[in-house]
Structure 1
Amino acid sequence: MNIDWAALASVFGVSLVITVALVGLFTLGVTGLAKQVSTTRGGGGALARTGAYACFALCAAAVAYGIYLIVA
């Protein structure tokens, strides 16, 4: 059995970067919702909520694309 170490390292690197990016996006979404709750009295909550929903939508799109790649 012969292992292509370069391909394995490439898959590992891409998986690591995508995982960190998705976790970061989700964290930004949760933070945006938390700021939306804390700034409802001072205004500006709509912008935080919109940004949070955009982050969640990007996370959902990335997950859907990953499922599409697995199924196709």
Structure 2
Amino acid sequence: MKIDWAALGSVFGVSLVVTVALVGLFTLGIVGLSKRERATEQGGSATLAVSGAYACFALCAAAVGYGIYLIVA
């Protein structure tokens, strides 16, 4: 049995980068929603933060959907 170490390292590297990016994107969405709560408490509006948060969550859902598509196809 021969292991292609270069391919294994490539898969590991891409998986690590995508995982960190997806977690960072989700974290930005959570931060955007927390800014909305803080702005509501102060009597303001944070429509840009909320729009950005929803965009982050939509990108996360799209990435997960694409991953499922790659597994199934």
TM-score normalized with structure 2 length: 0.94
The two structures, once aligned, show a CA RMSD in angstroms of: 1.0
- 1:39 is displaced (CA, Å) by 1.1
The 2-side partners of 1:42 and 1:52 are apart by: 20
Moved more, 41-50 or 57-66: 41-50
Identity of aligned residues (%): 76
The reply on whether 1:60 has 2:72 as its aligned counterpart is no
Gaps of 5+ in 2: none
Superimposed CA distance per residue, residues 1-55 of structure 1 (whole angstroms, 9 cap, x where no aligned partner): 0000000000000000000000000000000000111012353411111000000
Aligned AA for 2:14? V
Q: Summarize the alignment of residues 7-22 of structure 1 with structure 2, pairs less than 5 Å apart.
A: 7-22=7-22
Write out aligned runs for 1:1-72 (5 A).
1-40=1-40, 41-72=42-73
Structure 1 range deviating more: 41-50 or 23-32 = 41-50
Provide structure 1 residue ranges, at least 5 long, that are not aligned to the other structure: none
So what's the TM-score if we normalise by structure 1?
0.95
